[in-house]
Structure 1
Amino acid sequence: MLDIKIELTKNRKAKPDMKNNPPEFGTCTTDHMFEMDYDPEHGWHDARIVPYGPFMVEPITMSFHYAQEIFEGMKAFMGPDGNPLMFRPDMNAKRFQRSAKRVCIPTIPVEDYLQAVETFVKVEKEWIPTEPATSLYIRPVAFATQASVGVETATEYKFFIVACPVKNYHTEFSSDDSCWVETKYSRASEGGTGGDKCGCNYANTLLPQEEAVARGYDEIVFADANEHKYIGEISASNIMFVIDGVVVTPELDGTILPGITRDSLLTLCREWGIPCEERKITVDELKETLQNGKCTEAMSTGTAVVIEPIGSFGFEDVGRLIVGDGNVGPISRKLYEGLLAIQRNELEGPEGWLVEIK
C-alpha cells in the first residue's frame, strides 16, 4: 500500500460554469495533482498529492527525445448519494501495466495504481460536475525523466495524475460526424505499439487528420499498414458498425487499442441480446454495405467520446457515402443511453463495473 502524503493548495481555483459556459474539453485542470517517482534504488516512491503546477525537467529529458511515455483516460462521476463513482478502473490499471511493459517503463502494481487514482479523486471530489453529460476526466501518465540523449532504456521515471472537469467530448448526440477512410497513411503496424496507449501512436495521426479535415471530414479511420485493406481504428478511438443488424467491430490484432468502452459495449450487446461480432472488416466490405444499405449505423467509441455516431464515410474512389438514412440509429442510441446510465448508477450493470469512492 502506498503512503500518500497530501499537501492541499492554499490558492483554490474558480470552478467553471459547466452548465452555461463549459471549458473546451481537457483545458481546465483541478487544484491538485498526484505524483510519484521511480529510480532503481528506491523503486516507485514518494507518493504525494500536491497543488497543480509545472514540472522542472532537463532539456535532455529522455521522454522528449525517444517518446518513452504512456497514459490512460478515465472518468469519475458523482453518484446519486454524493459519492464519486469510477467506471471499471481496474481495466485502466491493467492496460497501464501492459503499456508500461511495451515501452520498458517499470510497472505499477494494480492496487497501487487504483489507490493513487481513488485517493486523488477523493481529494478533488468537489471538482466532479453534476450537470448532465459531464464528468471529471482523469489522465494518469508515466514518462522517463532521466537526463540523457543516449538511446537506451531510462532508469528514472515519474507517474502523475491530473484531472479536468469536462462536458462530453461531443456535446450533441447526433450523426453529424463524418469519417475519411485512410489507405495511404498508417496508424500502427504489426509488432508496433498500436495496442498500447502510448503518445507516439497519436502523433502520427495528426497529419492525416489535418488532410481529412481539408477534404471536409471530421475524423479519420485507418486501414491496416500491411495491405491497406482492413479497417483498423479511428485516430483516437475504436470503431463499430451495425451491418445487417449485427454490431461489428474490428478484431484485436495487436494494432488496435483494446478500448474499455469497446469491451463494455460488446458485453452489453451480449447481455441485452444484440448480435455482435469481432472480426476483420475490409474497406471494400464497408464501401459495399454502405452502398447497398446493409450498414445502417456506425460509431466511434472511447472514454472521451463515449459513443459518437458517424453519419458518412469518404473514400478515395467513390467519394462520400451516407450511413443508413443519415440519422442516429436505434442500437447506437440504446448503447449510448444505457452505458451513461450504468456509469451514473442509474441502471444496473455487470457486477464490478462501478467502484464507489467513500
Structure 2
Amino acid sequence: MAYVNPSGEFTRDQRYIATRVTADGRDGYPVEPGRYRLVVSRACPWANRTIIVRRLLGLEDALSMGIAGPTHDPRSWTFDLDPGGRDPVLGIERLQEAFFARFPDYDKGITVPAIVDVPTGQVVTNDFAQITLDLSLEWSRYHREGAPQLYPEALRDEIDKVNRYVFADVNNGVYRAGFAGTQEAYDKAYHRLFDRLDWLSDRLSAQRYLVGDTITEADVRLFTTLVRFDPVYHGHFKCNRQKLSEMPVLWAYARDLFQTPGFGDTIDFVHIKRHYYVVHTDINPTQVVPAGPDLAGWLTEHGRAALGGRPFGDGTPPPPPRPEEVVPAGHGAA
C-alpha cells in the first residue's frame, strides 16, 4: 500500500462520514448510553484524541470502546488484540465490515476513530474532528461529575482558530513532510511545520495551556502529535530540525500534559512505533521497528505549574483507567 505521493505534495482525503450522534437525534442517531461503540487504535493520533476526551469526560459507562491492533492492511483495521480476532461486542474481525454494513459500495478510507451503532452493526461516523466536540457537547448528560469543560462556549472561536493552524501545519503537517514525493514538497512542509512549532513555543512560553487557563480541546489535538514526534515523526517522517526533547517549551508542555491523568495513561508507544514503521512500507520497506528513543524523560519534572492555570478548571481529574483499558505493561513511559 503506497502512501507517498510520487508527484509531490501529500493531500489528505477528508471525505469522512458526516453523520452525527446528537442529543436530539436529528441525523437518526440519538445519544443513548450503551447503544454505540467507539472503535479506536492506540497507534493513531486522530483516534487517540477520542480516547483522551472520552476518559476526561468519564463516558466509559455510556460509550464502550473497541481497540483495534496497531497495524492494518489495505482492507482495514483488524481486532487482532481480541480473543479469536473478533471485537467482543460487534462480533467482527475488521472495521471494514461495519462500514460495508451501512455503505456496501463504500470507496473511501476505513479509518479510526469510528462510532458504530451496535444494534445494526453499521458505522455511524468517522469524522474525527467532530466526534470529540460532540462528546463534549452532545453527550454532556452522561459526563462524570467533575468533568472538565473542554470546549467552553466563551473560548470556542479562539479554540477553533488555534485548531485550524495546528491541524494544517502540525497534525497534518508531519504527514505532508513524511509522505512528500519531491524535494520541493518536502521542503515546503518541513518549513511550514517548524515555523508553526516555533509559533506554538512562543505562545506557550507565557501560558500553561493553548487557550485560556485550563485544558481544552486544543491541547488534546496538539498533544497527540507531540507525543509521537520523537518516536516516529522525527526520523520516519524526516521532521528532524530538532527532536521534541530539544524544544524546551514544547517539551515541558508535552510532559505536563503527559503527566496529567487522562493523557499519558492512554499512550502506547509500542503500538505507535509498530504502526508507522510496519504499515508504511514505501517509507520503511524493511519494516524494522526502532528500539528507541528512551522514554524515561516523559516522567521528569516539567516546571509548567509555575505558569499557573488549573488543568481541569472547576472540575476534577478522571479516575484511573479501567483495568481492561490500561495500556499494557512495558508499552508506556514507566
When you count strand as a share of all residues, which structure comes out higher?
1
Larger radius of gyration: 1
Q: Given the two structures, how large is their TM-score scaled by the length of structure 1?
A: 0.29
Q: Given the two structures, how large is their TM-score scaled by the length of structure 2?
A: 0.30
- Which structure exhibits the higher relative contact order, with contacts defined as CA atoms closer than 8 Å and separated by 6 or more residues? 2
